[in-house]
Amino acid sequence: MNVFNDNSLAIGRTPLVKLNRVTSGNVYAKIEARNPSFSVKCRIGANMIWDAEKSGKLTEGKELIEATSGNTGIALAFVAAAKGYKLTLTMPSSMSLERRKLLKSLGANLVLTEAPKGMKGAIAKVEELMAAEPGKFVPLNQFSNPANPEIHVKTTGPEIWNDTDGKIDAFVAGVGTGGTITGVSRYIKEIEGKAITTVAVEPTDSPVITQAKAGQELTPGPHKIQGIGAGFIPENLDLDLVDEVEQVSNEDCMAMTKLLMKEEGILAGISSGAAVVAAKRFAEKPENKDKVVVVILASGTERYLSSPLFTGEFGEQEEVQ
């Protein structure tokens, strides 16, 4: 029978869709919301737990623990539920209400941290919880765990390469942990040997990748693009693989996310809007005419209904006409 033994094995094989109306460039969107828990993080959630099993770190009675902005946590929670593991997650309280509800519904123990402290505060809370109960937890460390970019070398990169028949010229992705952009670029540049242009996307209000590439002091700041812009350079982000960096404002990001829904029929998440803004800029430059540009759409819209994406969009009760 053509079946999966559990839901974590159903990751990947997501579609590549041409964008026809939001850009005049040759841009193709990889829609990662088609994964089992509806984001690109499904891939790393599964692989980090598989790796913990294989390494012998995850044994009976141990509990998984991780800091998350939401989508990695949801991915870990669905895998943990499918495989019968306990999971504690720390998350900034600024993340959307939908994310909190999903995490609790999947059985995760959710610990909210102070919003102004961002992901650094969530990571610090993991360290505090582990110190309070030594030996109880197995940390997954998505920002530094090599199993994160590894799954993109094994799956996402080959999928993009095969679906474009090797014709990809540029790869655009928002940067959270750095795993997607590193893994896909590593596969195409180092394994397939094609010198594509890799474009990293970050919030205008927290331009730490731009600063790091320029050798400047990092000045992270608050922003509204959930899922990217952690405010530091993750170990899993290989800056040597990044050729260009595009900064996207909150306003441009939100506008494009809405445009993707209305003009392309694509229910994309907030960071996906930012990535498409960057892909559009790149693809519409005269020197990039006809280049094949692939952009990652990391998650779907439904996870952001209570976020600023929909502020003022609808009243509590729509008027009957």
Q: For residue 307, what pLDDT band results from cuts at 50, 70 and 90?
A: confident
Res. 316: pLDDT tops 60: no
What is the reported pLDDT for 318?
46
Enumerate the H helices of the chain as residue ranges: 41-55, 71-83, 97-105, 118-132, 147-151, 157-163, 179-186, 208-213, 250-259, 270-283
Q: Supply the mean pLDDT for the chain.
A: 94
Res. 270: pLDDT tops 70: yes
**Closest by CA position to 73, among listed 47, 106, 116:** 106
CATH number listed for the domain at residues 7-39+146-308: 3.40.50.1100
Alpha-carbon span 84 to 64, nearest angstrom: 11
What is the reported pLDDT for 54?
97
Question: Looking at residue 136, what DSSP letter applies?
Answer: T
What is the reported pLDDT for 320?
47
Provide the residue type at 179 as one letter.
G
Domains 7-39+146-308 and 42-139 share a fold: yes
**Closest by CA position to 246, among listed 263, 260, 225:** 225
**Closest by CA position to 68, among listed 304, 238, 302, 227:** 227
Q: Which residue has the tokens 């992270």?
A: 220
For residue 191, CA distances in Å to 157, 181, 186, 188, 257 come to 10, 15, 7, 6, 33
Question: Where along the chain do its domains lie?
Answer: 7-39+146-308, 42-139
CB 81 within 8 A of CB 107: yes
**Closest by CA position to 152, among listed 176, 180, 188, 193:** 180
Q: Report angle CA 39, 43, 48 to the nearest 5 degrees.
A: 130
What is the reported pLDDT for 69?
81
CB 142 within 8 A of CB 177: yes
Record: fold of 42-139: Rossmann fold (3.40.50)
Alpha-carbon span 91 to 73, nearest angstrom: 9
Residue 15 backbone class (left: φ over 0; alpha: ψ -120 to 50; beta: rest): beta
Which is more confidently placed, 110 or 308? Answer: 110
What is the reported pLDDT for 312?
64
Q: How many residues does the chain have?
A: 321
Q: For residue 96, what pLDDT band results from cuts at 50, 70 and 90?
A: confident
Mean pLDDT of the region 213-237: 95
* β pairing state of 170-174 and 293-297: parallel
Mean pLDDT of the region 178-205: 99
**Closest by CA position to 203, among listed 195, 214, 192, 211:** 211
Task: Kindly report, residue by residue over 147-181, the tens digit of the pLDDT.
Answer: 999 999 999 999 999 999 999 999 999 999 999 99
Q: For a pLDDT cut of 70, what percent of the chain falls above it?
A: 97
* β pairing state of 170-174 and 197-203: parallel
Alpha-carbon span 270 to 257, nearest angstrom: 6
CB 29 within 8 A of CB 297: yes
Res. 315: pLDDT tops 70: no
Which residues are annotated as catalytic? Answer: 41, 271
DSSP bridge partners of 90: 67, 111
Q: Which residue has the tokens 């242009």?
A: 197
